[in-house]
Structure 1
Amino acid sequence: MVQDYSRRGFLTVLAAASAVPAWAAPPEISLRPHTRPSGLHKQAIPAAEALIHKAGLSGQIGFAVADTATGRVLESHGGAQGLPPASVTKSITALYALEKLGPSHRFRTRLITTGPVENGILKGDLVLAGGGDPTLDTDALADMARKLKAAGVREVRGQFQVWAGALPYIGKIDNNQPDHVGYNPSISGLALNFNRVHFEWRRSGQGWGVSMDARSAKYRPEVAIAKMAVQTRQLPVYTYESRGGTDHWTVASGALGNGGSRWLPVRRPDKYAGDVFRTLARAHGISLPKETIANTLPAGSTVVTQQSAVLRDILRLTLKYSTNLSAEMIGLAATQADGSKATSLLASGQAMTRWARDKLDMGQARFVDHSGLGDASRVTAADMVGALDTVVARQQLKPLLKPVILRHANGKPNTNHPLKVVAKTGTLNFASTLAGYVTATDGSELAFAIFTADQSKRSKLGKDDRERPKGSRSWIRKSKGLQQTLLERWGTLYSA
């Protein structure tokens, strides 16, 4: 009969044994200890409920984990509860785009001429035509200006037109966000520098010198489409108004200090790109009139084409840096490629919802956009794990996910942690998500999704409170701590 001893009982037996006189001769049987039963160390692993209690996290918690070798769900808690997926949404957007556009798809931005070029003079219009490239930057526009010069154009006698109709114009990704946050820009078929303008300030005498530019790795052209004024006040830090097609900003002097910078969103991306291209063309000796906006794409001859990287590489960066604009533009392009009319993010999100339910069996999913910034998207942990455990996700999405470095108890990164995690993170105010794959030391692979949200606290936030709401940072820290302890539980408990 096998008996279980408590630690106290074991020590009592050990003390009694120590009172027996030592043998004078070697024993007739070996005293080598018996091999401990395999998996004994797993008995000390805390239960998931204990980890949840220890985290002290308010709100709702849903998670699920499955063995990718068998597809068997190993553990679930609140897995059927729909919660905001935050930027984990971008994982589904990536799969959606890979199917509808293809991994080798490239976006093209073009310069089109509507008349002949004679002696360096274009006798017609020049059109800057966007093709939905979310990665176009000032360096790429400068290269297009250089190629236009090489094509023999020195002057344009007609109009300089800008066409951004490859995708619908959308004023903001999420109307509930503060006006000044750079992660919530406008959307159109022509984007530049992720539709953000760089605002910089420096103390100058009793005031400040300010600049608004479209900087990139090589260039810093100032822009006329966005203007900034410093006003003597403490709050609000920023105000915004659109006047005459120009973004007019003010900033509170009490918030500036001696100097600094930040990216602000652009609300007229078509005019922004046209403004910057005129400056770059002028630097190459090409005279252009002020840009006008074309509502339809003019017919003509393409003289310069700027190609993006392949979609697979764009998605890898989108997932790594969680770029909202890229996810939205790519998702809209995928919906259009499927033949659906994407007139809004909601309509395109609904198209992706139908696709996810059909292709990934995400029966409870509801997407209102492609980035996860919108409040109303809902996904269950069970549906997310099911999507991750599909062949297409393991083959196409998993290689695009970034490594997630787990941490020591003191919060510092533990680069030697035995568990290897690749996943997509997601963070909103009082919402934190993580979904991907964890590999144990024995090579066992698990697909997992962890969603946490305090819906009550989120619902009480005003628009101006959403950039740094009180208590959100500590709440997120607790959520991330729970994520790691759950991963460590699963990586130990479900390894061989």
Structure 2
Amino acid sequence: MISRRLFLQSGLAALAGSSALANAPAVSLRPVARDPASLITAGGGLKGVLARAGLSGEVACAVADAKTGLRLEAEGAQTPLPPASVAKALTALYALDTLGRDHRFVTQLVATGSLSGGVLNGDLVLVGGGDPMLNTDDLARLAKSLKSAGVREVRGSFRYFEGALPQIRSIDPDQPDHVGYSPAISGLALNYNRVHFEWKRAGQGWSVTMDARTNKYRPEVAMAQMKVAQRSLPVYSYADRKGADQWTVASGALGKGGSRWLPVRKPGAYAADVLRTMLRANGVAVSAPKAAKSSPGGKVLAHHSSPPLDVMLKATLKYSNNLMAEMIGLAATQARGGRPNSLRASAAEMNRWAAATYGLKQAQLVDHSGLGEDSRITPNDMVTALVTAHRKGQLKPLLKGFPLRDSNGKVLKNHPIKVTAKTGTLNFVSGLGGFMTAADGTELVFAIFTADKRARAAISRAERERPKGAKSWNRRAKQLQQSLIERWSRVYGS
């Protein structure tokens, strides 16, 4: 696979070796470029780069000219591998195409009765609109807005409705219960559906708190509870009891003190619990929250709008937030007329869209975040989507820079190659897909997927947070990614 540019360079190189240049020139000439063919085959070519990486498992990659889509080089380009979080790039394109860059998600406080003398004679309902960025500060503003609307007391029930999106207990049920990157999903989300667990030494034991903190507020919650158990392992256990997330933590793992974010399994109850605290802090009396089975009719007394979709997608891609990707992907599927009852069903609709929009016949994603290990996509399909996105100017502005590093891992700030891409990392799975500008300004599109599926399959559920050998494997995979980027700049952009 040799581009038109390389063909022209080859022609110039041939002229440079002809008799026309036998006599000494009157002026100095530029150095003669090396034969492009020698650049392609130097060091064993692409296969040599892959072999020297010493990476177990499978490696597949493809690179193309960003403007023309011409494939320049590939290895296993038709091999479907897990994309990990590189899948979020496709989800972003799906959402932009379906919802539009200016789309916003709205959370509302709805009154079902009349308001008189500061008393609401009816129910107050927190209605989720699928906003994945809703946080405690936003609920505090909603509470203040309700107070400004004249509400001091709610005589009816305080309810919450989370049915704008399907209720899903965990993004990936195969993950350990306690990992914050696989929380529950519903039409209501708060603080990315994570609760803050903190512990401190108190005499011979520990003092523990569970709260919905931001930089400004730290409201404690009742729907997530923690108890210290006298044991060493397992570190955490979870149970759904009495309408609450009931956790235990091993005393042998606590040390002097610390904190971490735990996933929330009841997001609607979590958001309503925190809102109730904020309402009471503003002098608004409400009862304990109850779930609403349907979206209520009534008057909207207060509302909160999310940032526009393009801003949210930029955050999703920058921080690789799984919950944001899943909620936005589900919302896009529903906007297309689908009624998904699972992430797999929603992803199937996105696969159909990708096939119709880009011709991606082998895209088989099982969710919108890439967390599910059964997702598959080929480098060729990913490059196809990225080339089209580049022409439309859709994705590149949303991606963050991918820094290149020296042999010690230090970022090279003035490196001549510039890369904007989406990374993807699971245990023994690493992906990178995006755009690169070579040293001479040539723009290329690429996708690199690596996976040791046998090593990943050997990990028990309990070990999935930090399995042995995964860190070093993933480090080598990232080094290979940089080696490929540097090769492509040297061969196709010099």
| TM exceeding 0.5 | yes
Q: Given residue 156 of structure 1, which amino acid in structure 2 is its aligned partner? A: V
Q: Given residue 405 of structure 1, which amino acid in structure 2 is its aligned partner? A: P
Aligned to 2:138: 140
Distance 1:33 1:105 in 2: 59
Aligned to 2:151: 153
CA gap of 1:289–1:402, structure 2 versus 1, over 3 A, is same
Aligned to 1:24: none
Would the aligned equivalents of 1:67 and 1:445 in 2 still touch at CA under 8 Å?
yes
* Equivalent residues in 2 for 1:93-492, closer than 5 Å: 93-391=91-389, 394-492=392-490
For residue 207 of structure 2, give the secondary structure of its aligned residue in structure 1: strand
Would the aligned equivalents of 2:225 and 2:245 in 1 still touch at CA under 8 Å?
yes
Aligned to 1:61: 59
Q: Given residue 303 of structure 1, which amino acid in structure 2 is its aligned partner? A: L
Aligned to 1:52: 50
Distance 2:200 2:37 in 1: 58
Following superposition, the deviation at residue 458 of structure 1 comes to 1.2
Q: Given residue 382 of structure 2, which amino acid in structure 1 is its aligned partner? A: M
Following superposition, the deviation at residue 39 of structure 1 comes to 3.2
Structure 2 gaps, min length 5: 1-22
For residue 272 of structure 1, give the secondary structure of its aligned residue in structure 2: helix
Q: Given residue 375 of structure 1, which amino acid in structure 2 is its aligned partner? A: E
**Residue 32 of structure 2 is aligned to residue 37 of structure 1:** yes
Would the aligned equivalents of 2:421 and 2:433 in 1 still touch at CA under 8 Å?
yes
Following superposition, the deviation at residue 391 of structure 1 comes to 4.4
Would the aligned equivalents of 1:95 and 1:393 in 2 still touch at CA under 8 Å?
no
Would the aligned equivalents of 1:387 and 1:393 in 2 still touch at CA under 8 Å?
no
Would the aligned equivalents of 1:106 and 1:309 in 2 still touch at CA under 8 Å?
yes
Q: Given residue 242 of structure 2, which amino acid in structure 1 is its aligned partner? A: G
Would the aligned equivalents of 2:154 and 2:285 in 1 still touch at CA under 8 Å?
yes
Would the aligned equivalents of 2:390 and 2:396 in 1 still touch at CA under 8 Å?
no
Distance 2:332 2:379 in 1: 25
Count of aligned pairs:
469
For residue 305 of structure 1, give the secondary structure of its aligned residue in structure 2: strand
Q: Given residue 39 of structure 1, which amino acid in structure 2 is its aligned partner? A: R
Q: Given residue 305 of structure 2, which amino acid in structure 1 is its aligned partner? A: Q
Aligned to 1:78: 76
Distance 1:442 1:29 in 2: 29
C-alpha distance after superposition, 1:398-418 (max 9, x if no partner): 110110111011111111111
Following superposition, the deviation at residue 421 of structure 1 comes to 0.3
For residue 224 of structure 1, give the secondary structure of its aligned residue in structure 2: coil
Distance 1:349 1:34 in 2: 57
C-alpha distance after superposition, 1:455-474 (max 9, x if no partner): 11111211111110100000
Q: Which moved more, 1:35-44 or 1:108-117?
A: 35-44
Q: Given residue 450 of structure 1, which amino acid in structure 2 is its aligned partner? A: I
Would the aligned equivalents of 1:388 and 1:447 in 2 still touch at CA under 8 Å?
yes
Following superposition, the deviation at residue 393 of structure 1 comes to 6.4
Distance 1:274 1:489 in 2: 53
C-alpha distance after superposition, 1:111-140 (max 9, x if no partner): 000111111100110000000000000000
Following superposition, the deviation at residue 64 of structure 1 comes to 0.1
Distance 1:39 1:357 in 2: 41
C-alpha distance after superposition, 1:437-466 (max 9, x if no partner): 000122100000000000111112111111
Would the aligned equivalents of 1:364 and 1:380 in 2 still touch at CA under 8 Å?
yes
Structure 1 gaps, min length 5: 1-27
Following superposition, the deviation at residue 71 of structure 1 comes to 1.3
C-alpha distance after superposition, 1:227-246 (max 9, x if no partner): 11111211111000110110
CA gap of 1:303–1:471, structure 2 versus 1, over 3 A, is same
Would the aligned equivalents of 1:42 and 1:492 in 2 still touch at CA under 8 Å?
no
- Percent same amino acid at aligned positions? 56
Q: Given residue 402 of structure 2, which amino acid in structure 1 is its aligned partner? A: V
Q: Given residue 282 of structure 1, which amino acid in structure 2 is its aligned partner? A: R
Following superposition, the deviation at residue 93 of structure 1 comes to 0.5
Would the aligned equivalents of 2:119 and 2:152 in 1 still touch at CA under 8 Å?
yes
Distance 2:30 2:292 in 1: 79
Following superposition, the deviation at residue 31 of structure 1 comes to 12
Would the aligned equivalents of 1:169 and 1:187 in 2 still touch at CA under 8 Å?
yes
Distance 1:215 1:272 in 2: 12
CA gap of 1:40–1:138, structure 2 versus 1, over 3 A, is same
Distance 1:202 1:418 in 2: 48
For residue 229 of structure 1, give the secondary structure of its aligned residue in structure 2: strand
For residue 417 of structure 1, give the secondary structure of its aligned residue in structure 2: coil
C-alpha distance after superposition, 1:284-325 (max 9, x if no partner): 011110001001011111111100000000000000000000
For residue 140 of structure 1, give the secondary structure of its aligned residue in structure 2: helix
**TM-score normalised per structure 1:** 0.92
Superposed CA RMSD: 1.6
CA gap of 1:82–1:475, structure 2 versus 1, over 3 A, is same
CA gap of 1:185–1:29, structure 2 versus 1, over 3 A, is closer
Would the aligned equivalents of 1:424 and 1:434 in 2 still touch at CA under 8 Å?
yes
Would the aligned equivalents of 2:36 and 2:491 in 1 still touch at CA under 8 Å?
no
Would the aligned equivalents of 1:114 and 1:125 in 2 still touch at CA under 8 Å?
yes
Distance 1:354 1:41 in 2: 40
Q: Which of 1 and 2 has greater Rg?
A: 1
